[in-house]
Structure 1
């Protein structure tokens, strides 16, 4: 399944909607996606959203779309 992870780059500052960024990853469950994001980044993870097929097609239309892979 594909998940969109919303995050703030800094754990030091209060989250501001204007500064929210995101990346995409593949995982078996939402909990796995959250755990991978927490383990492999220093970001303040806001939420993890499973993308429907239609939402994935929409997101892939963005030329900047790419999956994040962790080792």
Structure 2
């Protein structure tokens, strides 16, 4: 399954919408996706994880910023 992970680059700063980034990761479950991101990027503050499937996945794959992160 493909997940879109929204995160802040630092846990030390107050989260602001303008500083939110996203990445795409393939994982078996939502908790697995969170664990893989947090393990490989301990400074990241994961805000939200969204399962992408169907039309939503197709839409994201057409975007310029779509690239699966591999850890």
TM-score by length of 1: 0.93
CA RMSD of aligned residues (A): 0.8
Structure 1 stretches of at least 4 aligned residues deviating more than 6 Å after TM superposition: none
Question: How far apart in 2 are the matches of 1:63 and 1:38?
Answer: 25
Question: How far apart in 2 are the matches of 1:59 and 1:4?
Answer: 9
More strand by share: 2
Question: How far apart in 1 are the matches of 2:30 and 2:54?
Answer: 16
Q: How many residues align?
A: 70
Which consecutive unaligned segments of at least 5 residues does structure 1 have? none
